[in-house]
A and B are shown apart, each in its own frame.
Chain A
Amino acid sequence: MFKKVVATVKENSKIAAGIYKMIIACGDADIRHFVPGQFADIAVPGHAELLLRRPISISAVNPDNNTAALIYQIQGKGTDIFSRLTPQTKIDAIMPVGRGFYLTAREKTVFLVGGGVGIAPLLSVTQKWPSKTYEAFLGYKGRDYAYCLDDFENACGKVIVTSDDGTLGEKGFVTDALGRRLIEAKPDIVLACGPVPMLRALKDILSPFGVPAQVSMEQRMCCGFGACATCVCGVDHGEGLEYKKVCIEGPVFDLFEVVL
């Protein structure tokens, strides 16, 4: 269960163009039961005029020293302020929040598909379920935007990298690379996080193969703990459209039920 905690910045550094990694000491948060896909909902310190917390995905946890790694992209004022936080800064966080990715014993081969900053939450999947066989399909804008590549190389049997400009790996969309691989090998499940156009393409590519997929959704968020019903996305279980809260009913949804 999530808690409101005072966390402390331990490290905060740029790891790629516009992308930062912050290590925080998690205070009283319970990170032992962390599930990949969960996030921390962080108030912007010292800026009361920026009312809303920023939801930042947790890319890894270390229960031994009670720290979590947050990877985030500068999107606006709030995340720009985050990028300048120095070690020892206290931050007000509600964490860990959300229903994350879920793997059972049935899924043995897992394809991870990530785009841009959406690659970050996928890394902890390999940490949480180390006995699965993984292949990662990572799409970056270009070489300058790449991060965590070594981590994926270490954790996955195969890593296929694409970039928009061709400066890293194959030029083109990550979903096209996935499509070519699916002809050779079919996983038990796909776990994905990335921009909506990538998720749409993923849905189109997976449909004919009948491969199930879970996707982590992003939405403009207000409270981040389920009280306001603003951060919704459409879900259709076959009984008509419903809006589900991305914060506590997600952020991970079934790709074939969520409205993209």
Chain B
Amino acid sequence: MAVDMKVTLCGKVLKNPVIAASGTFAFGQQHSWLIDVSRLGGIALKSLTPEKRVGNKPPRIAETASGIVNSVGLQNPGVDVFLEKMMKRVALFDTAIIANIAGRSIDDYVAVIQKLNETSIDFFELNISCPNVRMGGASFGTDEGMARDCVMAAKAVSKKPMIVKLTPAAGDIVRIARAAESAGADALSLINTIPAMAVDAKTKRPILGNVTGGLSGPCIKPVALKMVYDVSRAVSVPVIGIGGIMTGEDAAEFMLCGATAVMAGTANLVDPEAPLRIIDELTAYAKTMNIDNITALTGALEV
């Protein structure tokens, strides 16, 4: 029995529910040296801002127990250079393309969206949750009113379905999710990294140049599962589950908790082949469970 792995997200059909998370896949080029990127359900590009960002002072990465703490700081060439030099190559991937958008102000988000509206990009993902830059979005993601204003302004100019990426740093992620939905979000993705830090006791210094960063990897999966479970029951738009997905079963767990699709992040950096392996393992899992259509998993948790 073949498993139908296709899922529909905001009216668009993805080959399978496994998407590469923003910031872990650059603009697809490096992974394309090592794997067939077109096998993925989709790829979320690295955050784009109106202007070039040099990013945070190194070191930008620390390994912790079953996790990593990063503080890249949205390093990107800016939307204009992206359009000029990278968009053509991105368009060659035969997979859904999600442009992740970040900014310091609502005008920033609007400016990037307007520049990308006429491209072949399939979805926008509004990053209102980056923990690594001041006014880098997290402030929009933790305040209900700001989240609503930002999503509304972005939706008003957007010609593409809008995914809003949420931060676990919100006091109550369900409230932010509802605010984003009421402002017009077509889908929600969660969770972004958890604000965190790593310390070197021997030198008595923080490991990261930015002092603090965002935690990701298998250690955050239980936190993410609960948030996906809570949010997917509170909203009617589709939810994309993110948080420490390393295997097909991890992906299945997020779908059971209500996710329509999932994003693998840290896994792509640990093993460039991970996203393909996750697709294969999820397919094998569905077979074992006698599921012929992967969409049957969404929300099928038996409580």
Contact = CB atoms under 8 A, between A and B. Distances in A.
Residue of A43, A221, A222 with most partner-chain B CB within 10 A: A222
B23 A51 contact: no
A94 interface: yes
B301 interface: no
B26 A231 contact: no
B93 to A, nearest CB: 14
Interface string B64-90: 011110101001000000000000000
B28 to A, nearest CB: 9
A241 B209 CA distance: 16
Contacts of A1: 33
Nearest to B268: A227
Given A50-B63, A51-B63, A52-B68, A229 B55 contact: yes
Interface string B244-287: 00100000000000000000001011111100000000000000
Contact of A220 (B29, B58, B218, B266): B58
A5 to B, nearest CB: 11
B271 A43 contact: yes
B123 interface: no
A228 B24 contact: yes
Given A51-B63, A227-B25, A230-B61, A222 B55 contact: no
A19 B284 CA distance: 44
B-side interface mostly: loop
B159 interface: no
A222 B61 contact: yes
Contacts of A4: 34, 271-273
A227 B65 contact: no
Contact of A243 (B23, B55, B269): B55
B63 A52 contact: yes
B58 A233 contact: yes
Interface in B9-67: 23-26, 29-31, 33-34, 46, 54-55, 57-63, 65-67
B266 to A, nearest CB: 7
B270 A53 contact: yes
A49 B66 contact: yes
B217 interface: yes
B26 A220 contact: no
A189 interface: no
Interface in A40-54: 43, 48-53
Contact of A232 (B46, B58, B68, B270): B58
B26 A227 contact: yes
Residue of A50, A52, A221, A228 with most partner-chain B CB within 10 A: A228
B61 A221 contact: yes
Interface in B208-233: 217-218
B70 A230 contact: yes
A169 interface: no
B163 interface: no
A138 to B, nearest CB: 26
A53 B267 CA distance: 12
A248 B72 contact: no
Contacts of B269: 52, 222-223, 227-228
Nearest to A78: B63
Residue of B25, B75, B218 with most partner-chain A CB within 10 A: B75
A226 B34 CA distance: 12
Residue of A3, A230, A232, A234 with most partner-chain B CB within 10 A: A230
A137 interface: no
Given A50-B63, A242-B54, A228 B270 contact: no
B30 A222 contact: no
A219 interface: yes
Contacts of B72: 228-230
A225 interface: yes
Contacts of A232: 55, 58, 60, 75
B295 to A, nearest CB: 29
B63 A225 contact: no
A227 B22 CA distance: 11
B99 interface: no
Contacts of B271: 4, 43, 92
Contact of A229 (B26, B29, B67, B246): B26
A51 B67 contact: yes
Nearest to A49: B66
Nearest to A3: B34
Given A227-B24, A231-B58, A243-B54, 12 more contacts: A51-B67, A92-B271, A94-B272, A219-B58, A222-B70, A223-B30, A226-B26, A227-B269, A230-B60, A230-B72, A232-B75, A243-B55
Interface of A: 1-4, 43, 48-53, 92, 94, 219-223, 225-234, 241-243, 248
9 nearest interchain CB pairs?
A230-B61, A223-B269, A230-B60, A226-B30, A220-B59, A227-B30, A222-B61, A49-B66, A227-B26
17 contacts: A48-B66, A50-B63, A51-B266, A51-B270, A52-B269, A52-B270, A219-B58, A219-B59, A221-B61, A222-B61, A225-B33, A227-B26, A227-B30, A228-B269, A229-B60, A232-B60, A243-B54
